[in-house]
């Protein structure tokens, strides 16, 4: 496997950003040391044509100013924390409000906007970042590491977080997938399978209420693969609130492959397995507001990409019914998600 390093740009702070490209005979994956952003995943379609299957930009300024977490490590806590408030060890904490009245994806300058140290590995790269005590309002210093491991047609994301005191950690990767290649069409004709029977109700601020509903008989039933666009326009309160899917699906955890995204016209597919409790499906409902032109040459628009964010349930610290994502020096954070990329008619390792 080849690992190449390229200059990508300079932040407004003067910090230099580099792109690292992992390449083997099956895939080419590019990652920035800024936010651990996956800028490209290049794979063949059924006719052997190599194209990019993720959304992103070709310059650092757009990532700084416009990116809706394209391809990034999100945290310290992915998703929303209600009103930016939580209590830990009988102490109240107040976080930045950066999404309506809530805290989203770690705050104003979360892990997605930090420069990470990079170490080259035999089969990938390891990104490291030390988040100081009270960065973005979160207690404790945390030593984070994220490994991107490329083996044949699989990409493994391995996360660790070692805090020096009790704190919240719930990371994910926020890549927007579009298997049509180079943004040729929306994701509404992509088929999605999710091994999940239950989904939390969201309130009007997209915060889980703690109450769950059964997916059977609702637009949220993906236990049999179906087009993302099949039911997205249904008159359903949960869909109407978020203009589409933006919900955590609680994985049943009894199958090896828990999520499958595929696109018949290109022959491309992704199989996902994870040790996390849930996958948040975001169907790009608000894309097109101000993201501008993407690296594929297309203007961003609604439903141009879909995120499959493996993580623990959002806002779990504030919901008694959910298991909280609390870690300390004796109980460090570890997480794993594996993406397997497949093309119909081609041998898969």
Q: 8: which residues sit within 8 A by CB, 6+ positions away?
A: 17, 18, 19, 32, 34, 59, 60
* 133 catalytic per annotation: no
The Cα–Cα gap between 146 and 142 comes to: 13
* Residue of 247, 266, 243 lying closest to 183 (CA atoms): 266
* Residue of 141, 138, 111 lying closest to 33 (CA atoms): 111
Q: Which burial class, exposed, middle or buried, applies to 11 when counting CB atoms under 10 A from its CB (0-12, 13-18, 19+)?
A: middle
* Residue of 176, 156, 171 lying closest to 336 (CA atoms): 156
* 126 catalytic per annotation: no
CA 153 to chain centre: 19
The answer for 33, left when phi > 0, alpha when psi is -120 to 50, beta otherwise, is alpha
The Cα–Cα gap between 260 and 193 comes to: 5
Q: Which of 105, 174, 190, 263 is catalytic?
A: 174
* Residue of 254, 183, 179 lying closest to 223 (CA atoms): 254
Q: Which of 136, 258, 271, 309 is catalytic?
A: 309
The Cα–Cα gap between 173 and 193 comes to: 19
Query: Which token pair is 159?
Result: 């996360």
Catalytic positions, written as ranges: 174, 309
């Amino acid at each position: 496997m080849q690992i190449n390093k390229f200059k990508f740009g300079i932040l407004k702070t003067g910090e230099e950003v580099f792109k690292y490209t992992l390449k083997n005979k099956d895939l080419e994956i590019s990652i920035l040391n800024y936010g651990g952003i996956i800028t490209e995943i290049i794979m063949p379609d059924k006719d052997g044509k190599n194209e990019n299957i993720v959304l992103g930009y070709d310059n650092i300024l757009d990532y700084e100013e416009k990116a809706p977490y394209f391809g990034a490590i999100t945290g310290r806590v992915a998703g929303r924390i209600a009103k930016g408030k939580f209590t830990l060890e009988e102490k109240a904490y107040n976080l930045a409000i950066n999404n309506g009245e809530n805290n989203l994806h770690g705050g104003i300058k979360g892990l997605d906007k930090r420069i990470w140290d990079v170490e080259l590995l035999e089969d990938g790269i390891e990104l490291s970042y030390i988040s100081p005590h009270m960065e973005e309002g979160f207690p404790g210093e945390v030593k984070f590491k994220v490994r991107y491991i490329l083996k044949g047609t699989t990409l493994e994301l391995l996360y660790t977080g070692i805090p020096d005191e009790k704190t919240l950690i719930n990371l994910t990767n926020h890549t927007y997938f579009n298997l049509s290649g180079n943004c040729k069409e929306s994701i509404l004709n992509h088929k999605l399978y999710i091994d999940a029977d239950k989904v939390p109700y969201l309130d009007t601020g997209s915060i889980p209420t703690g109450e769950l509903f059964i997916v059977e008989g609702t637009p949220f039933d993906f236990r049999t693969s179906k087009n993302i666009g099949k039911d997205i326009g249904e008159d359903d309160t949960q869909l109407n609130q978020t203009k589409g899917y933006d919900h955590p699906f609680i994985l049943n955890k009894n199958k090896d492959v828990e999520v499958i995204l595929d696109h018949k016209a290109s022959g491309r597919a992704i199989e996902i397995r994870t040790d996390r409790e849930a996958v948040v499906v975001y169907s790009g409902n608000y894309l097109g507001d101000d993201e501008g032109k993407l690296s594929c040459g297309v203007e961003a628009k609604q439903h141009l990409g879909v995120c499959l964010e493996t993580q623990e349930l959002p806002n779990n610290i504030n919901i008694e019914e959910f298991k909280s994502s609390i870690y300390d020096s004796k109980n460090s954070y570890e997480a794993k998600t594996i993406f397997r990329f497949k093309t119909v008619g081609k041998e898969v390792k």
